[in-house]
């Protein structure tokens, strides 16, 4: 299947400048395309997954995608989709974010293709450009009337109380120059991006045409929303990042496992490499046995492996099973388990001031009284770290996971029955 047709089947083609031209361009092997990633945060997030995966799909189809880092455009600020001016970032901070995102992209692509990607940084060709060169060699090719018609600019112009600075107004010109530079240096004739980038991408197509460099194409993806109309990519705690230091692999997995039935088949198309037949089979499972959540499990597993690797997925699954009474918590990776228990009810104590077990059960609201707590213990309903206890005793150092003498981090998991549990934390 032509990769353009595959993207169309997956529902990822929102706008395209010339569908027949793009399909023909992608018919020949070894074609070049690119997508840009501005360093607006310390890590990429799952909103970046669609373009990232699309470039990986291109690479797997035999093409030569370029992953563009916005070291220069990140210093300017893209007005697209923003109702007010961005705060300008410190140059050193932008360069540091570029380095981190470059490492993320390289790890992601190598994990999913086995090869290192071609990563370029627009700072390398913009940093030495003078103001006169920008105005004469680039700006001369664009009329203000044409630029004002772009949605990213018009939406701000119409808001008198906000407006748009000349800095952000010029962003599309810089992005257009990027496209021309990559066309000239790499033979790139296709730029892809989110739907909010249509104006910026077509600016590049226009610039390439006016410079006499031939035809260039634009393709954008749809805005991803849930069936309920919510913008995709955020949890109650905010954005879901691809960096484990910002969003733990466990929280990452749980985000996907909680996908609604109405969304899961569509998200399997967007965010996995599963075939049409495999997606159709999982969609049928949603209809046949929704309580099994087979499609959600497949989606969560695939995305976690893509972003964090198979070893992290194994840790997440082991922690999940152990938390629901199917394994020994002591055998679980401590960091994964701590992330899994992040939202669990918890009480903090100094080790030498720990109450006895019945009082701990009351403190965690697992038992209504110490008398009932003792009955629960005698009935075999209470466990510590997955091991049932038979007597109302005090907790010892052996009952804690992690370093007991550490400032923070050691904890013990008390459970009543299968679903009710809480943490006793030290520190």
Binding residues for L-tyrosine: 34, 171, 175
Q: CA 111 to CA 100: how far, in whole Å?
A: 17
Please name which of 273, 219, 256 lies closest in space to residue 8, comparing C-alpha atoms: 219
Q: How far is Cα of residue 141 from the mean position of the Cα atoms in its chain?
A: 36
Please name which of 158, 221, 161, 181 lies closest in space to residue 66, comparing C-alpha atoms: 181
Residue 187 has a CB neighbour count (10 Å cut-off) of 11
Query: Two tokens at 376?
Result: 């629960």
Query: Two tokens at 329?
Result: 């918590």
Q: Is 348 helix (H, G, I), strand (E, B) or coil?
A: strand
Residue 110 has a CB neighbour count (10 Å cut-off) of 12
Q: CA 105 to CA 43: how far, in whole Å?
A: 10
Q: CA 184 to CA 213: how far, in whole Å?
A: 8
Please name which of 357, 359, 351 lies closest in space to residue 391, comparing C-alpha atoms: 357
User: Please, which residues have CB within 8 angstroms of residue 94's CB and are 6 or more apart in sequence?
Assistant: 39, 71, 74, 75
Q: CA 130 to CA 127: how far, in whole Å?
A: 8
Please name which of 258, 244, 237, 246 lies closest in space to residue 300, comparing C-alpha atoms: 258
Please name which of 159, 223, 211 lies closest in space to residue 184, comparing C-alpha atoms: 211
Contacts of 165-170 spanning 24+ positions with Cβ under 8 A: 165/85, 167/76, 167/77, 167/88, 168/76, 168/77, 168/78, 168/79, 168/85, 168/86, 169/79, 170/76, 170/139
Please enumerate, by residue number, every residue annotated as part of a binding site for ATP.
Answer: 234
Please enumerate, by residue number, every residue annotated as part of a binding site.
Answer: 34, 171, 175, 234
Instruction: Give the pairing type, strands 64-69 and 118-121.
Output: parallel
Residues 394 and 356: beta-carbon distance below 8 Å: yes
* Integer angstrom CA distances of residue 216 from 191, 192, 199, 219: 8, 11, 14, 10
Q: Is 114 helix (H, G, I), strand (E, B) or coil?
A: coil
Residues 301 and 268: beta-carbon distance below 8 Å: no
Q: Is 312 helix (H, G, I), strand (E, B) or coil?
A: helix
């Amino acid at each position: 299947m032509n990769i353009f047709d595959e993207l169309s089947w997956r529902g990822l083609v929102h706008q395209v400048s010339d569908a027949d031209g793009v399909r023909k361009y992608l018919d020949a092997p070894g074609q070049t395309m690119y997508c840009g990633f501005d360093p607006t945060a310390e890590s990429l997030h799952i909103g970046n997954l669609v373009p990232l995966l699309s470039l990986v799909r291109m690479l797997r189809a035999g093409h030569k995608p370029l992953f563009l880092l916005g070291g220069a455009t990140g210093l300017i600020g893209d007005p697209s989709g923003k109702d007010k001016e961005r705060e300008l970032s410190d140059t050193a901070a932008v360069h540091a974010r570029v380095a981190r995102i470059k490492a993320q992209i390289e790890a992601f692509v190598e994990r999913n293709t086995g090869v290192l990607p071609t990563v370029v940084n627009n700072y390398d060709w913009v940093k030495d450009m003078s103001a006169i060169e920008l105005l004469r060699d680039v700006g001369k090719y664009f009329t203000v009337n044409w630029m004002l018609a772009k949605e990213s600019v018009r939406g701000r112009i119409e808001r008198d109380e906000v407006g748009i600075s000349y800095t952000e107004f010029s962003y599309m010109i810089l992005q257009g120059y990027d496209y021309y530079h990559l066309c000239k240096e790499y033979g790139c004739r296709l730029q892809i991006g989110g739907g909010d980038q249509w104006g910026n991408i077509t600016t590049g197509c226009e610039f390439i045409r006016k410079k006499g460099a031939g035809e260039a194409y634009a393709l954008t993806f749809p805005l991803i929303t849930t069936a309920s109309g919510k913008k995709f990519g955020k949890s109650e705690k905010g954005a879901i990042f691809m960096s484990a230091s910002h969003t733990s692999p466990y929280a990452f997995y749980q985000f996907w496992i909680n996908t609604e039935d109405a969304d899961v088949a569509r998200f399997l198309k967007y965010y996995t490499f599963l075939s049409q037949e495999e997606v159709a089979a999982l969609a049928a499972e949603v209809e046949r046995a929704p309580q099994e959540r087979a499609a959600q499990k497949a989606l969560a597993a695939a995305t976690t492996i893509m972003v964090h690797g198979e070893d992290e997925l194994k840790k997440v699954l082991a922690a999940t099973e152990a938390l629901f009474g199917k394994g020994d918590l002591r055998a679980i990776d401590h960091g994964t388990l701590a992330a899994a228990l992040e939202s669990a009810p918890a009480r903090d104590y100094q080790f030498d001031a720990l109450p006895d077990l019945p009082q701990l059960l009351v403190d965690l609201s697992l038992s209504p009284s110490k008398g009932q707590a003792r009955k629960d213990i005698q009935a075999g309903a209470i466990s510590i770290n997955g091991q049932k206890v038979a007597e109302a005793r005090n907790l010892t150092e052996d009952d804690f996971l992690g370093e007991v003498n550490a400032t923070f981090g050691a904890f013990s998991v008390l459970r009543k029955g299968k679903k009710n549990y809480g943490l006793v934390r030290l520190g």
